[in-house]
């Protein structure tokens, strides 16, 4: 084994040699002529001159060694379906979907928008686009008409692929009316819509526009559609950031760099092996779903589980039963999902044979210590590995690369900089690099961004530069907009987003730090802190907390007692200046479907403003509770 520090150093200092080795994990039709062209910073071009195809690397290349091995395992506890597609089956299905798209005139560079639930056809759709060199844009099925319309307008797709309905908790959630409404709202109109009819919600097709997937598929059972070899820099897809903050941005990814990054991450980060099974519980609407439900595992020759359903239905053991049944080696989820499981019987964690499982990776939000401990103990000490990354990067920025060199995890830290990432902490006011231990700064990445990261914002190079590269004074560096510190061992700790900083009487405080302090009170399960405008102090912190044991909180007096205790904790840990003006007890917090706290919406409600677009909110009553208590 190589020492990780050397591996990382080489990826930065001997960049081209390092990545030309990683590029060997991918099959190229034409070998790259130049590894990295960074002559026009901050725009990086990876594997210039190379020609490849994402679908070829995910599917076709495996036919010679593992045609009959499982590739896509579709499990729906919503419709009680379960079906395993081998690489051979997947190859056939992808060609059928590609043939339908081709019939509708889709060629290289055309956009195809995918608005689908977690069904196998969604995977066929993504892979079929990649096969043709068409650029897919998957929009999360939980988005409603308005959000969908802005994405249709921005991506201007020739074709949209959708379905009659998704399903949640056993109830059909119609997609078609939302899609029709979105197309009406959008100035851009797609020429055609391919409808997968699951028979969950009746609909009337739009004549001349909508085509039925099953009918078209039947015409193409044996149609051969070869992979279109595209330049390494050809865009493979766009994906809009989840929009926790501000207007969504169309993150544009290349083909060659992305394929290499994922191919390399499977052994080095996830320790996945060809023939193994990967189970990522995310959704294809998110970046984690793109990279680790669809492309990453398949490129690595692994079977991937695509799961439609809740983590607690029929009961909280469903995921672990799948680990046993399909001998899952690598599992990937989010802290929010683990918090949901935490409310279930812990015995469900040990009911199944989990001996195949090597590690559980968690990403998307800070992994708090109690949650990490609970799941680690519940799974009998299996490795729990935090991953820190962004839609923009496509694969982890910070984690522990156990596939390079085994290293311990530290609670509360996602780990060290991943190879390829030249991570620097900088002072947000001066741009000066902070090299000392435990100095707090903005987490930035020095260009060129490694393979797999965004090339630009779709159709808006200027916005790419101004949004990400021009925010640190005196320096052209990529800003993650997250605060972090690094300890003496090189482990990073994420302290929250730079826009979650509040300013109390001239003191700048991270809401995340206040949240962590409050969470250390033994009776606090979860908390959100936001800054609220205040005439006197500029801003004050307000906390919304969920108590673990609510039995004593029956009246205002009891709540006041706990509130005072919480304030005392903050006083003693961070100082009185960080003390929230109020601690309000609620039973749930407003979050997106991907588990991110909607701090902006909470803040808006506290300041009696319009909370904005709430189509991704998981539980609207959570925001209502806050509204009701703000007087």
Say if residues 148 and 179 touch (Cβ distance below 8 Å): yes
- Minimum CB separation of residue 527 from ligand ATP in Å reads 16
- Cβ distance to ligand ATP smaller for residue 49 or 412: 412
- Rounded to 5 degrees, what angle do the CA atoms 560, 562, 565 make? 110
- Minimum CB separation of residue 426 from ligand ATP in Å reads 16
Please give the Cα distance from 612 to 415 (Å, whole number): 35
- Minimum CB separation of residue 387 from ligand ATP in Å reads 6
Quote the tokens at residue 232.
């390494």
241 contributes a contact to ligand ATP by CB under 6 A = yes
- Minimum CB separation of residue 364 from ligand ATP in Å reads 5
Q: CB under 6 A: which stretch of 243-251, 323-331, 370-378, 452-460 binds ligand ATP? A: 243-251
> Which residues are within 8 A (CB) of 374 and not within 5 positions of it... i.e. 6 or more apart?
338, 342, 346
- Minimum CB separation of residue 492 from ligand ATP in Å reads 9
> Which residues are within 8 A (CB) of 504 and not within 5 positions of it... i.e. 6 or more apart?
531, 537, 538, 539, 540, 541, 577, 578
Quote the tokens at residue 95.
């060609």
Backbone angles phi, psi at 178, to 5 degrees: -65, -40
Among 34, 245, 588, 615, binds ligand ATP (CB under 6 A): 245
Please give the Cα distance from 385 to 365 (Å, whole number): 13
Distance of CA 432 to the CA centre of its chain: 30
- Cβ distance to ligand ATP smaller for residue 228 or 368: 368
Q: Write out the binding residues for ligand ATP, residues 162-181 only, by CB under 6 A.
A: none
Please give the Cα distance from 520 to 394 (Å, whole number): 33
Whole-angstrom CA distances from 560 to 220, 567, 573 are 68, 10, 20
Please give the Cα distance from 54 to 394 (Å, whole number): 14
Determine the 3-state secondary structure of 211 from DSSP.
strand
Sign of CA dihedral 372, 373, 377, 382: positive
Q: Write out the binding residues for ligand ATP, residues 370-409 only, by CB under 6 A.
A: 386-391
Say if residues 502 and 543 touch (Cβ distance below 8 Å): no
- Start-to-end Cα distance in the chain: 61
- Rounded to 5 degrees, what angle do the CA atoms 446, 447, 450 make? 105
- Minimum CB separation of residue 414 from ligand ATP in Å reads 5
- Cβ distance to ligand ATP smaller for residue 232 or 393: 393
| Closest among 295, 300, 344, 297 to 318, alpha carbons compared | 344
- Cβ distance to ligand ATP smaller for residue 361 or 585: 361
Q: Write out the binding residues for ligand ATP, residues 469-508 only, by CB under 6 A.
A: 480, 482, 494, 497
Among 166, 243, 420, 450, binds ligand ATP (CB under 6 A): 243
- Cβ distance to ligand ATP smaller for residue 388 or 491: 388
- Cβ distance to ligand ATP smaller for residue 498 or 629: 498
- Minimum CB separation of residue 518 from ligand ATP in Å reads 17
Over the window 257 to 296, marking each residue x when it contacts ligand ATP by CB under 6 A and - when it does not, the resulting string is ----------------------------------------
- Cβ distance to ligand ATP smaller for residue 133 or 364: 364
Q: Write out the binding residues for ligand ATP, residues 326-365 only, by CB under 6 A.
A: 363-365
- Minimum CB separation of residue 77 from ligand ATP in Å reads 25
- Cβ distance to ligand ATP smaller for residue 57 or 413: 413
Interface residues toward ligand ATP, by CB under 6 A: 241-245, 248, 363-367, 386-391, 414, 480, 482, 494, 497, 596
């Amino acid at each position: 084994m190589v020492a990780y520090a050397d591996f990382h150093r080489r990826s930065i200092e001997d960049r081209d040699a390092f990545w030309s080795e990683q590029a060997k994990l991918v099959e190229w039709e034409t070998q790259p002529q130049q590894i990295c062209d960074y002559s026009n910073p901050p725009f990086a071009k990876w594997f210039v001159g190379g020609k490849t195809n994402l679908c070829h690397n995910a599917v076709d290349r495996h036919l010679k060694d593992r045609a009959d091995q499982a590739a896509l395992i579709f499990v729906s506890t919503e419709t009680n379906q379960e079906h395993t597609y081998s690489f051979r089956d997947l190859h056939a299905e992808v060609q059928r979907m590609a043939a339908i798209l081709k019939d509708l005139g889709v060629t290289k560079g055309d956009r195809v928008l995918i608005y689908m639930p977690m069904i196998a056809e969604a995977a066929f759709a993504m892979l079929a686009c990649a096969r043709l060199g068409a650029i897919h844009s998957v929009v999360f099925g939980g988005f409603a008409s308005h959000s969908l319309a802005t994405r249709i307008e921005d991506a201007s797709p020739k074709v949209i692929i959708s379905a009659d309905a998704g399903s949640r908790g056993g109830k059909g959630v119609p997609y078609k009316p939302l899609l029709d409404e979105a197309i009406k709202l959008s100035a851009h109109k797609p020429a055609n819509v391919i409808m997968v009819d699951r028979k969950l919600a009746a609909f009337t097709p739009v004549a001349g526009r909508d085509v039925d997937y099953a009918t078209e598929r039947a015409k193409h059972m044996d149609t051969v559609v070869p992979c279109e070899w595209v330049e390494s820099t050809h865009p493979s897809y766009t994906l809009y950031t989840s929009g926790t903050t501000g207007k969504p941005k169309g993150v544009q990814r290349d083909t060659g760099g992305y394929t290499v990054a994922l191919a390399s991450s499977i052994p080095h980060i996830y320790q996945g092996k060809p023939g193994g099974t990967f189970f990522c519980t995310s959704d294809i609407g998110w970046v984690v779903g793109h990279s680790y439900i669809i492309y990453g595992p398949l490129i690595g020759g692994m079977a991937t589980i695509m799961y439609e359903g809740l983590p607690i239905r029929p009961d909280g053991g469903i995921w672990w039963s799948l680990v046993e049944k399909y001998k899952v080696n690598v599992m990937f989820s989010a802290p929010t999902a683990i918090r949901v499981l935490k409310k279930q019987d812990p015995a469900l964690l040990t009911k199944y044979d989990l001996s195949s499982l090597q590690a559980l990776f968690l990403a998307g939000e800070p992994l708090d210590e109690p949650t990490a401990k609970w799941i680690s103990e519940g799974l009998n000490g299996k490795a729990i590995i935090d991953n820190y990354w962004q839609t923009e990067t496509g694969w982890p920025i910070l984690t522990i690369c156990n596939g390079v060199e085994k290293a311990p995890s530290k609670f509360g830290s996602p780990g060290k900089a991943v190879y390829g990432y030249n991570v620097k902490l900088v002072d947000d006011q001066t741009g000066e690099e902070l090299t000392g231990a435990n100095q707090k700064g903005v987490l930035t990445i020095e260009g060129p961004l490694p393979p797999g990261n965004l090339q630009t914002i779709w159709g808006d190079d200027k916005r790419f530069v101004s949004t990400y590269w021009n925010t640190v004074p005196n320096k052209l560096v990529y800003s993650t907009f997250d605060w972090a510190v690094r300890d003496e061992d090189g482990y990073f700790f994420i302290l929250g987003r730079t826009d979650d900083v509040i300013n109390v009487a001239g003191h700048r405080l991270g809401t995340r730090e206040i949240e962590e302090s409050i969470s250390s009170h033994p009776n606090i399960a979860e908390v959100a802190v936001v800054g609220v405008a205040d005439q006197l102090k500029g801003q004050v912190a307000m906390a919304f907390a969920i108590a673990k044991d609510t039995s004593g909180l029956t009246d205002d007096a009891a709540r006041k007692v706990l509130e005072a205790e919480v304030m005392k904790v903050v006083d003693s840990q961070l100082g009185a200046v960080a003390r929230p003006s109020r601690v309000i007890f609620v039973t749930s917090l407003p979050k997106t479907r991907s588990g991110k706290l909607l701090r902006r919406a909470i803040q808006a409600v506290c300041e009696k403003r319009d909370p904005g677009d709430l189509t991704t909110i998981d539980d609207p009553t959570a925001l209502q509770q806050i509204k009701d208590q703000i007087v």
